[in-house]
Structure 1
Amino acid sequence: MVQQLNPSTIIYPDSDGQPMAENTQQFQWIVVIKENLEILFADNPNVFVAGDLLWYPVEGDNKTRQAPDAMVAIGRPKGDRGSYRQWEEGDIAPQVVFEILSPGNRLKEMTKKFKFYERYGVEEYYIYDPDRVDLAGWLRGEEGLDAIEEMNGWVSPRLAIRFEEGEEGLTLYYPDGRKFLTSIELNQRAELAEEQAEIAREQVEIAREQAEIAQERAEIAESRLTVLADKLQELGIDPETL
């Protein structure tokens, strides 16, 4: 007699023992995409963004799993998770998934991932190979994931971000036209903004001091006029007639 396992007693590991990235370029792209997506949805409490997080789509099955380089689950709250267990997430599958290729990726592995994402409900799937500067994407149709014929200028239906391919490689843009930036670029922008804010504060302070000086001069001038008017009246001269 085969003993049935209780789904509640099954362990779902938080790690598959695989490295997040195989080289610095792959890691950099994963971080850039994940962190900029976090920024994009920072004000929406019901969009969960994760990087290299194991996704278990089926309760009771701890073998069927994938860890997308970056994924977005719209309709799920932010917060820390050891893994994404779909049955605990309102049975909502991540709608958008990104994979960044490295020289170590094999066709068999990528085919397996594609079939997984297609089977378990991913709506948009993007793969970028930074070594070859090659971008590919798929969008869910009636029968599964359909290849997007032209990715240059493509706008994600779910995220509203834009993909642009140029001589310098791939560039992603926010819905408002801002570029996805690295952490260094973001820090440089923040430092520049702080410097500009400090200059603005100094200019406000200078303007305030100048206004105070002008006010003091006006008060001195008014005082002198008062003294002059008093002296004219002492001489029998009406200041109003002058």
Structure 2
Amino acid sequence: MIKQLESTKKPAIIYPDSDGEPMSDNTKQFRWIVTIKENLELLYANNPDVFVAGDLLWYPVEGDNKRRQAPDTMVVFNRPKGDRGSYKQWEENNIPPQVVFEILSPGNRLKKMALKFKFYETYGVEEYYIYDPDDNEFIGYLRSGQHLEIIEEINGWVSPRLNIRFELPDDTLEIYRPDGQKFLSFVEIGQLREQERQEKENALSELEQQRRRNELLEAKLREFGIDPKQL
């Protein structure tokens, strides 16, 4: 009888690209997630070594596919742009996301948020921001040694990593780029571009009208025997 040798090869570990949970619970939460993520993409569009992602599963430990989180938005410096099914930290020079954002919805529970906080604190996040658009409450945490410490005065706070500024008027959160431009929604960006296009067209139209008025004036002067070039 031939004895079958037992295989010592361990089965490959699968790291799912989805946790089966929806990206957002409502339109307001989704709008904020997209606004923050896309404006950060725009801010670092010309820097090939800043990776920005939304709702992407982050696996910090090789061999453990249960330990994971999917921040609403995360920013990773010193990692190249590009598509990923998930962020496997050991394949990314072991660099964790330095900045993460979470947008709250009525479905968020205290236990879930506590687990997220502990995860981000344990695995190296430097800045952690949480926004509740329903109550217009915004809090932030900044790493100090092994811990994330709450930012006592968040209104007017400038992110050390991103250099963006947070303002809290009465009814909403406002975020400003380093150049002072406000983060805008996709619709607002489209409206602004349409306004700029219209203003450009109006300016060109005004120039064309002025050119025609000048031509008519020159023609009148010539009728009276006056050379406009001599004026």
Query: Normalising to structure 2: TM-score of the pair?
Result: 0.87
Deviation at 1:218, TM superposition (A): 7.5
Once residues 87 and 117 of structure 2 are traced to their aligned partners in structure 1, the CA distance between those partners, rounded to angstroms, is 18
Residue 105 (structure 1) shift = 1.0
Corresponding residue for residue 73 of structure 1: 76
Identity %: 61
Shift of 1:96: 0.3
Q: Which of 51, 54, 58 pairs up with 1:51?
A: 54
Which amino acid in 2 is paired with 1:151?
Answer: I
Partners of 1:155 and 1:208 lie apart in 2 by 49
Q: Deviations over 1:165-207 (max 9, x none)?
A: 1212211111111211111111110100110111122233334
RMSD: 2.1
Deviation at 1:216, TM superposition (A): 6.3
Question: Aligned equivalents of 1:75 and 1:65: distance in 2?
Answer: 21
Match of 2:165 in 1: 162
Q: Count the aligned residue pairs.
A: 221
Distance 1:208 1:81 in 2: 55
Query: Matches of 1:191 and 1:53 in 2, distance apart?
Result: 32
**How far apart are the structure 2 equivalents of 1:132 and 1:71?**
23
Task: After TM superposition, give the deviation of residue 40 of structure 1 in Å.
Answer: 1.1
Q: CA 1:160 to 1:214, structure 2 compared with 1: closer, same or farther past 3 Å?
A: same
2:132 aligns with 129
1:6-45 matches, cutoff 5 A: 9-45=12-48
Give, in whole Å, the separation in 2 of the partners of 1:164 and 1:25. Answer: 19
| Residues 54-74 of structure 1: per-residue CA shift (max 9 Å, x gap) | 111112221111000001111
Structure 1 residues 178 and 222: CA distance shift in structure 2, 3 A: same
Greater Rg, structure 1 or structure 2? 1
1:199-214 map, 5 Å: 199-210=202-213
Question: Displacement of 1:117 after TM fit?
Answer: 0.6
- Shifted more, 61-70 versus 172-181: the winner is 172-181
Partner of 1:190: 193
Whose helix fraction is larger, Structure 1's or Structure 2's?
1
- Give the structure 2 partner of residue 228 of structure 1: none
C-alpha distance in structure 2 between counterparts of 1:70 and 1:35, whole Å: 9
Answering whether residue 169 of structure 2 is matched by residue 152 of structure 1, we say no
Q: CA deviation at 1:213?
A: 5.5
Q: Deviation per CA, 1:1-48, whole angstroms, max 9, x where unpaired?
A: 996636xx2211110000111111111111111111111111211111
Equivalence for 1:138 = 141
Q: CA deviation at 1:214?
A: 6.2
Whole-Å Cα distance in 2 between the matches of residues 17 and 145 of structure 1? 28
Distance 1:103 1:145 in 2: 24
Superposed structure 1 runs of 4+ greater than 6 Å apart? 214-220
Distance 2:194 2:21 in 1: 36
Correspondence for 2:10? 5
Give structure 1 stretches of 5+ with no counterpart: 224-242
CA contact (8 A) 2:98 2:125 kept: yes
Question: Equivalent residue of 1:169, what SS?
Answer: coil
Return the alpha-carbon distance in structure 2 between the equivalents of residues 217 and 58 of structure 1: 83
For 2:63, the equivalent position in structure 1 comes to 60
* Cα deviation 1:109-148 (Å, max 9, x = unaligned): 1111111111111100001111221111100112311111
TM-score by length of 1: 0.84
Runs (5+) with no aligned partner, structure 2: 1-5
